[in-house]
Structure 1
Amino acid sequence: MTATTIAGRYTVERVIGHGGMGSVYLCRDEVLGRRVAVKQVGHLPGESTSDVDRALREARSSAALNHPHVVSVYDAVEDGDHNWLVMEYVESRTLAEVLADEGPLSPERAARLGAQAADGLAAAHSRGTVHRDVKPGNILVTADDHVKIMDFGISRTHGDAQLTSTGLLTGTPAYFAPEIARGEEPGLAADVWALGATLYAAVEGHPPYPEQGNALALLTTIATRSAPLPRRAGVLTEAINRMMDRDPVARWSMADAAHVLRRIQDQAAVEVVAPPPAARTTAITPKTPATSVTPATGDDRRRGWLLPVAAVLLLALLVGAGALLLQGGDDTRDRVPAAGRTDTPRKTRTPAAAQAPETSSEPAPSASVPVAPSPPAETEGESEADSPAPTGDVEAFGEEYYGLLPGDTEAAYALLSPSYGSSYAQYDGFWRTIEAVDVRDVTAVDDTTVDVSLTYTTSDGGTDDETRRLYLEPTDDGYVIVDDTVV
């Protein structure tokens, strides 16, 4: 390009990238005194629709969104033989550049970025606009991880004429949904697949399907074979799998994806304090089944109880100093994590340790983590039958819990075990995004587990259906929730 201004208004500073339809320049808007990105729009081979129509279509699709996670389009202009789109300039890298610079992302960071992208795309979908080229290269990430979706250059609104009449392949095949690979019409569900594939690439470091030199061979693979399961996705695994459901009808909507990704983001923000290094050498991931403590940790707890107690009894007999040494035993017990967090996996809860005969005193509760009621004294060989027996109807509990929400978060939060791992501020913050909860069905799985089928109505008017499994722990008054998951 030789011109220094575009349309007599936009002074060119430098080239900053290449969009799906042409080069992108950083310019200064001399009228409004701001920096803008101006994209040159050129011809695509075999394209029967004019460049002006294409530019105006992108301008209409993007400018009407006015969303914090979508790059704004300000203007569409002509200058000589060229057409230009004038857009918001975002100081950022693309997600593709982030991955190239930093390698695969943690599932928690990928969820945070994906939730923002899904919000922007859900806003587009609410208008019937399909992006059609969601990929890491079209997701901008600022220095503080704020996301904006760009390049709606091949997007179109349902009902618009086809962009190409000659079968020209538009979009990026590596992120095509199976139905597009089979030659079907792109729909809203195709964007959901593409965002799921983008999240897959974000955590794995590569697209779901391996690169192939022949685009048609790649399309055949996508159309006929399931993608390998992600191995590094962690808390994102279920979301990626649901977004990449091969059946577009069964696939989540973009609003569903945004809702779940925000929830994963909120849960991942909860920092769970790990036990001492000797008891565990790997970090705890919040709100996953893996957070239950392994049998080896249970053995450590037994040693933490039995050795001090044995020392107390032996030394009391030898030197009559049992009282002082017993106090020392209590100090050791105070370092044992709170009851309810360190039991063996849910539904098969075993006693923390064999208690000493009558001489052992209970440790003082921690100042920061409430301690659940202590189990009665037990001897070696006793089993989980000595734990509090279920004292109520789990189905009634599920109804009662969700009946409190979203209006009475304080009462609902009181039904969570201290081991649940969510602060009230985070809990209340999430439920402020929900307008209503409709309980469709409640089914007991066993005497401490219940499935609750729900419909959420979000603050933006959307709805989300799910079945949530609550894992309960009996108390003297009924139950508390120790964990939950989507089933």
Structure 2
Amino acid sequence: MTQPQEPTGRLLAGRYRLGEVLGRGGMGTVWRAEDEVLGRIVAVKELRMTGAVDDAEKHRLIVRTLREAKATARIRHTAAVTVFDVVEEDDRPWIVMELVDGRSLADVVREDGTLTPERAAEIALDLLGVLGAAHSQGVLHRDVKPSNVLIGEDGRTVLTDFGIASVEGDTSITSTGMLVGAPSYIAPERARGQQPGPPSDLWSLGGTLYAMVEGVPPYDRGSALATLTAVMTEDLPTPRNAGPLRPVIEGLLEKDPAKRMDAAAARALLRAIAGGKALPEAATVAVPAPAEAPTVAVPAAEETAGTAPRPLLAPLRIPFRVSRRRAAMAAGAVAAVLALVAALVVWWPEGKDAGARSAGGATGPSAQASAPASAAASPAASPSPSADGSGAASEQPAPVLTSGQIPAGYTVYKDQSGFSIALPDWLTDQGPDYRATSRRFEGHGLRLVVDWQSPAGDSALKDWQEADRNAKMPNYRKVRVESVAYRNWNNAADWEWTYSGKTGTLLHSLNRGFVTGNGKYGYAIYWTMPEEVWSAPDGSLARRISFESFQPAP
């Protein structure tokens, strides 16, 4: 049973007089309304739920709505909708926003036809600007697509619907899976369950740019399964109407986020195209290479810390490097997408990321003594039962990335203790850290400590919780402490936080603890880096490759 339709003319919060319905979706209605206090016309977004929604889902939807308001309110840009107010009535939130008169970009293309490269470049510049403003505030949109772009009657471009945006440090909805956007515009790394970052939004912008000039998304195959398979495995269909936009589109739709065209390079080309200027000759044949990671002075040992949460979706992982055998790669991707579609394209919660101390090596500025043990994982984080039904992890599970799939510029480090891990060539071995059973690596301002103990302790999660309670670092701020699903190992937990180093630099740390060999070893993979490097290609890629390639001692 659905909620009754609110009558036109209702006075909301004693101030906003509801008028006509401007739009209606599965969970929301947008009203034209008048703010009778200030005498202006506004848009009011109402959250609507059916009677079949249980309390947990109701809570998730409310949090999502409030997060949309919070994310949008943080952004200062002409292409962002202004949020005026959030009010609560009928036990649900209503968002009061600026009213933009116009049509969606999807409607413009459908009704008026494809855009010229010059006009498409103008719109893309506006979107690039608002995305940059969002990213600078730690907000990822995660659903950039033509239907979420409004073109005002005055020509203004507005990016709407931050309903599934990821707000840095906000773990309020990490306990529930959620739909994360239209398959046609989902970046390959998100389709694989990897850490989303600004490059993921840029991919979606590239897909939107493609649709502006071609009239269809680049990888639309008519179903979620076929579309996501194409996103991960197929070459980009040649944009035949793009003209000078082609290098921008191809650069933004580069499958490898580390090689994807960045915002600065895209902005330079888009400005030239929008201004009718000829592009540099090189721009027609090559995408600018990503900027090198910033060189930052390596902080002292107690100054390092960091990692941002990312969805850990092991069934969706496929090798980082594209296989030379396309058929095998496609088969793996199909299996991954089948898992995704079987889950109704519902993703694991934000925060089920890789990172934390090991379930057997307590490392961290606040605890350099007893190592954590096997974190008592929640049912959602538990591995598949073993043959004997005990649920214990296998003795020597294969890494997600094998040595033949390690990206260029990475080398598999094999420690004399028996573990191995793929690391970037610029991350050098510094020897033992605070004890003999720990190994430190540093480079480009990043720091990694791999810590282990045998046998594993009782609970990494409990150790992380205790370390969080006793943390004495300057300006310490917990991001999350939680059990996580990590490959097929059990008792895994993450501790993630930020704090100020000795020089005042804001540092970000992630410590992942987990147990291998049925309790024989407890490991911690502990990353720290300056906050400004956290989402940069070198930082995010190094973390991902380390987690996916790690192999414990036998």
TM-score, with length taken from structure 1: 0.52
Alignment counterpart, residue 124 of structure 1, candidates 131, 134, 142: 134
Give the deviation of 1:189 after TM superposition: 1.0
- Whether 1:59 aligns to 2:69 is yes
Show the 5 A alignment for 1:233-244: 233-244=242-253
**Selected match of 1:139 from 149, 171, 190:** 149
Among 36, 47, 50, the residue aligned to 1:30: 36
SS for the counterpart of 1:38 is strand
RMSD: 2.5
Q: 1:61, CA displacement in angstroms?
A: 1.1
Counterpart position of 1:246? 255
Deviations 1:400-440 (A, max 9, x none): xxxxxxxxxxxxxxxxxxxxxxxxxxxxxxxxxxxxxxxxx
Letter in 2 for 1:228: P
Q: Which is worse superposed, 241-250 or 151-160?
A: 151-160
Does residue 96 (structure 1) correspond to residue 106 (structure 2)? The answer is yes
Question: Is the Cα contact below 8 Å between 1:112 and 1:265 reproduced in 2?
Answer: yes
CA distance 1:189–1:127, change in 2 (3 Å): same
Equivalent pairs counted in the alignment come to: 273
Confirm or deny that 1:188 pairs with 2:203. no
Paired residues of 1:175 and 1:207 also in contact (CA < 8 A): yes
Q: Structure 1 residues 92, 242: closer, same or farther in 2, change over 3 A?
A: same
CA contact (8 A) 1:55 1:76 kept: no
1:219 maps to 228
Contact 1:94 1:137 in 2 (8 A): yes
Partner-residue secondary structure (3-state), 1:198: helix
Distance in 2, matches of 1:185 and 1:82, equals 31
What is the distance in 2 between the residues matched to 1:112 and 1:263? 10
Identity of aligned residues (%): 45
* Structure 2 contact 76–133 (Cα < 8 Å) conserved: no
**Within 2, Cα distance between the matches of 1:259 and 1:49?**
43
**Shift in alpha-carbon separation, 1:21–1:247, aligned structure 2, 3 A:** farther
Please tell me whether residue 40 in structure 1 is matched to residue 49 in structure 2.
no
Asked whether the equivalents of residues 154 and 163 of structure 1 are also in contact (C-alpha less than 8 Å), the reply is no
What residue in structure 1 maps to residue 6 of structure 2? 2
Q: Partner residue of 1:158?
A: 168
**Structure 2: distance between partners of 1:20 and 1:116:** 28
- Alignment equivalent of 2:241, drawn from 224, 229, 232: 232
Unaligned runs of 5+ in 2: 282-554
Inter-partner Cα distance in structure 1 for 2:116 and 2:274: 12
Residue identity matched to 2:245 = L
Distance 2:235 2:26 in 1: 28
**Hey, what's the Cα distance between the residues in 1 that align with 2:15 and 2:62?**
19
Q: Whole-Å Cα distance in 1 between the matches of residues 202 and 101 of structure 2?
A: 26
Per the alignment, in what secondary structure is the counterpart of residue 70 of structure 2? helix
Instruction: Name the SS of the counterpart of 1:124 in structure 2.
Output: helix
1:79 and 2:122 correspond: no
Q: CA deviation at 1:251?
A: 1.3
1:372-404 Cα distance to aligned partner (Å, 9 max, x none): xxxxxxxxxxxxxxxxxxxxxxxxxxxxxxxxx
Q: Residue 131 of structure 1 contacts residue 156 of structure 1 at CA under 8 Å; is this kept in 2?
A: yes
User: 1:19 Cα deviation (Å)?
Assistant: 5.7
Kindly state the Cα deviation for residue 38 of structure 1 after the two structures are TM-superposed. Answer: 0.8
Structure 2 vs 1, CA of residues 120 and 55 (structure 1 numbering), >3 Å: closer, same or farther?
A: same
Q: Give the partner amino acid of 1:216.
A: L
User: Counterparts in 2 of 1:268-417, with a 5 A limit?
Assistant: 268=276, 286-287=278-279
Give the match's secondary structure for 1:105: coil
Once the two structures are TM-superposed, the CA of residue 141 in structure 1 deviates from its matched residue by 0.7
For 1:83 and 1:211, the matched residues in 2 are separated by 37
3-state DSSP of counterpart to 2:34: strand
- Per the TM alignment, residue 56 of structure 1 is displaced from its structure 2 partner at its CA by 2.5
Counterpart for residue 14 of structure 1? 20
Does 1:258 find its partner at 2:262? no
Tell me if the contact between 1:51 and 1:83 (Cα under 8 Å) persists in the aligned partners.
no
Q: Post-superposition shift, 1:93?
A: 0.8
Partners of 1:58 and 1:156 within 8 A in 2: no
1:457-482 Cα offsets, whole Å, 9 max, x none, are xxxxxxxxxxxxxxxxxxxxxxxxxx
What is the Cα deviation at residue 217 of structure 1? 3.3
- What SS does structure 2 have at the residue aligned with 1:227? coil
C-alpha separation in 2, matches of 1:114 and 1:20: 28
Distance 1:259 1:244, change over 3 A: same
SS in 2 for 1:118: helix
2:117 alignment partner in structure 1:
107
Inter-CA distance 97–52: structure 2 relative to 1 (3 Å threshold): same
Q: Which has the higher contact order (CA 8 A, sep 6+)?
A: 2
1:45-69 Cα shifts (integer Å, max 9, x gaps):
9748544432332222111212111
- Alpha-carbon distance, 1:192 to partner: 0.2
Once the 2 structures are TM-superposed, how far is the Cα of residue 27 of structure 1 from its aligned partner? 0.7
Compared CA separation, residues 221 and 67, structure 1 to 2 (3 A):
same
What per-residue deviation string (whole Å, max 9, x for no partner) do you get for residues 162-201 of structure 1? 7464433221111101111112232211110001000000
CA–CA distance in structure 2, aligned partners of residues 39 and 218 of structure 1? 31
Structure 1 pair 142/206, CA: closer, same or farther in 2 (3 Å)?
same
Residue 273 of structure 2 contacts residue 279 of structure 2 at CA under 8 Å; is this kept in 1? no
| Equivalent pair of 1:189/1:253 in contact (CA under 8 Å) | yes
Distance 1:164 1:221 in 2: 29
Equivalent position amino acid for 2:107 in 1: E
Contact 1:19 1:151 in 2 (8 A): no
Kept in 1, the 8 Å contact 2:66–2:93? The answer is no
State the structure with more CA Rg. Answer: 1
* Unaligned 5+ runs, structure 1: 271-285, 290-487
Q: Which residue of 1 aligns with 2:208?
A: 198
**Equivalents in 1 of 2:270, 2:26: separation in Å?**
28
Whole-angstrom CA distance in 2 between matches of 1:217 and 1:128: 32
Q: Give the TM-score normalised by the residue count of structure 2.
A: 0.46
Structure with greater helix percent? 1
Cα drift, residue 126 of structure 1 = 1.1
Whole-angstrom distance in 1 between the partners of 2:114 and 2:145 = 15
Give 1:255 deviation, angstroms: 4.4
Distance 2:182 2:73 in 1: 23
